[in-house]
Amino acid sequence: MKQTLQLKLGQQLTMTPQLQQAIRLLQLSTLELQTEIQEALESNPMLEMVEDDGAADGDAAAEGAAPSATDNGTHEENPAPTEDASERAADSQSEDMPNDLPVDSDWEDTYESYTPVTRGAQDGEFSDFEQPASADESLQDHLHWQLNLTPFNDTDRIIATTLIDAVDDDGYFTSSCEEVHQSLQEELDIELDEVEAVLNRVQDFDPPGVAARNLQESMLLQLRYYDADTPWLTEARRIVGEHFNLLAKRDFHTLKRRMKLPENDLQPVIQLIQTLNPRPGGQIASTPPEYIIPDVFVKKVKDQWRVELNPDIAPKIAINNLYAGMAKQNATKDAAFLKNSLQEARWFLKSLRSRNETLLKVSNCIVERQRGFFDYGEEAMKPMVMHDIAEVVEMHESTISRVTTKKYMHTPRGIFELKYFFSSHVGTASGGECSATAIRAILKKLIAAENPGKPLSDNKLAQLLGEQGINVARRTVAKYREAMSIAPSNERKCLS
C-alpha cells in the first residue's frame, strides 16, 4: 500500500470551552447548580463568597449579575446590573473577556451529561435494639430490625433473612416457599413446612400485611389486626377470603346475593375493606424526600403578572480583589496560574449571568402566553410547544429544552416545572385549538362530579367533551385518563 499526503478543505463546527460551560450551567437544576458553584469556589482561588450584608454591588456580582424582575407584558429595558468593585478593578487590569458565550446551540451531545456529586452513606450499622430513623430506612431495614428483636434459632434466622430479601418495596413476597426451600435445602437440610412456618412468623411483622404472596393474602393479614368487636369484621373477612374475585370486579349485585346481605348492610362492609392498604410496604419510606426549590417567582402586582428570579437559589460569589491585583505582577512565578484562574472566574460569572438572563427571558415569555392559566386555572391553558417560545426569544429549541428542564416556577396556583406549560393541542368544533392540559383538567372535573353508582364511561366522556366543542376520540380520553391515574368506569363504580 502506497502512502500519500492529501490536502482537504472542509468546515467543522466546534464548541469553545466557554460555550460548553455556559450550556452545561444552563441545564443544571438548582441543587446541581449549587454543587457546581461550590466546586468552583473550592478549585478557583479567584472566586470568593459575598456575604448578604455586603454592598449592593457585591450582591449583583454574586448572582452572576442576575437580571432584575420585569413586569410581564411590558417592554421596558432592565437597568444594567451593577458590577462588584473587585471585579471592576480586575477588569481594568487585564484584557476584556472575549464575547463568545452564546447559549444557543444545535449540538446535544458535545459533552457528557452532568452528574451531581452525592455524599455516600456513613459507615456503621444500627444496633439490634435501636430502630433507625424512618425517613432514612428502607422496608428491608425495617424488617431486618424486627428480625433481630425476634427469637429465632440459627436455622430459622437464615430462612427468615432469605424470605425478607425476597420482599419488594410494596411489601409483597415475590418468590415462593418452594424456591426458598430448594435454595437452602442443601445447606440446612430443611423441610418445606419449616419455610412456610417461618414465613407465617415474618408475616406478623410490621407493617400489617407485609410478606404476603398476593393482595388477597395481604388484606386477610391486615384484617387480623382489627379488634374482634369491629362492626362488620366477620363479613369483611368472608368477602375477602371467599369472594375476592367478585370484590375485585366490583360485582356488588352478585356479592349481595352470595353474602345474603341487603344493600344497606353491604355498603359498610365494603367501606371497612377499603380502609386496607393494598401496598403495605409503602408505609415505610424507602428513599428520603426530595424538596423542590423554585427558580423563579410569579406574582400579580397591580393587575400585572410579575416574574423574578429566586435570589436564594445559588451562593453569591464574586472575584477576589486581592488575588486579581496579584495577577498583574508578571514577575512572580505564579502569575500564569493566577491569570488563568482569573480568566476562568470571569467565564464562570458570565456563564451564570447568561443562565439567569435566559431563564428570566423564557419564564417571562411563558407567563405572557399562559395568562389564562394564571388568571383562571388549568382549563384556560393554551396549547404551546417549544418552537413557539424559541421564535419569540430568538433561540434554538434545544436551548429552550435545556432551560425548562428541572427548573421550577412558584405561582399562586402552586409550584410547576417549566415544561408543565408546554402541551400539544386538539382541534375544536369552531376550528380553534385546545391544549391537552386543559382537556385533562376538564376530564378530572367531569369525573369528580359523576354519580358514583353510575360512573361515566370513556365514550360518554368523549361525548360530553364534544358538547363543549372539543373533538376527541374515545381512545384519546382513555389515554388522558390513564395518564392521570384514574381507574376505568367499571373500577370507579361503588355503592350509592
- Split into its structural domains, the chain has a count of 3
In a domain, 11, yes or no: no
Residues 333 and 445 in one domain: no
pLDDT in tens, 323-333: 888 777 766 66
Residue 213 has phi, psi (to 5 degrees) of: -85, -15
Residues 146 and 259 in one domain: yes
What number is the average pLDDT over the span 65-84?
A: 43
In a domain, 118, yes or no: no
Residues 371 and 407 in one domain: no
CATH number at residue 464: 1.10.10.60
In a domain, 1, yes or no: no
What number is the average pLDDT over the span 195-200?
A: 95
Residues 243 and 148 in one domain: yes
Q: Domain ends where: 371, 386, 401?
A: 386
Residue 170 has phi, psi (to 5 degrees) of: -80, -10
Burial class of residue 437 (count of CB atoms within 10 Å of its CB; 0-12, 13-18, 19+): buried
Residues 202 and 144 in one domain: yes
Residues 171 and 266 in one domain: yes
Residues 391 and 377 in one domain: no
In a domain, 238, yes or no: yes
- The residue to which cell 346481605 is assigned: 261
Helices (H), 229-262: 233-242, 244-249, 252-259
d(CA 314, CA 181): 55
Residues 77 and 219 in one domain: no
Give residue 3's pLDDT band: very low, low, confident or very high (50, 70, 90): confident
In a domain, 4, yes or no: no
Q: Domain ends where: 360, 386, 412?
A: 386
Q: Is 47 helix (H, G, I), strand (E, B) or coil?
A: strand
In a domain, 168, yes or no: yes
pLDDT in tens, 36-69: 899 999 999 889 988 765 433 433 444 444 454 4
Strands (E), 82-179: none
Residues 149 and 159 in one domain: yes
Q: Domain ends where: 386, 421, 445?
A: 386
Domain of residue 375: give its range. 17-98+292-303+313-386
pLDDT of residue 13: 58
In a domain, 443, yes or no: yes
Residues 267 and 320 in one domain: no
In a domain, 151, yes or no: yes
Residues 350 and 278 in one domain: no
Angle between helices 154-165 and 139-149 (to 10 degrees): 170
Residues 395 and 487 in one domain: yes
pLDDT in tens, 87-131: 444 444 444 444 443 434 343 333 333 333 333 334 444 444 444
pLDDT of residue 288: 64
Q: Is 397 helix (H, G, I), strand (E, B) or coil?
A: helix
d(CA 230, CA 227): 5
CA 113 to chain centre: 18
- The residue to which cell 423441610 is assigned: 191
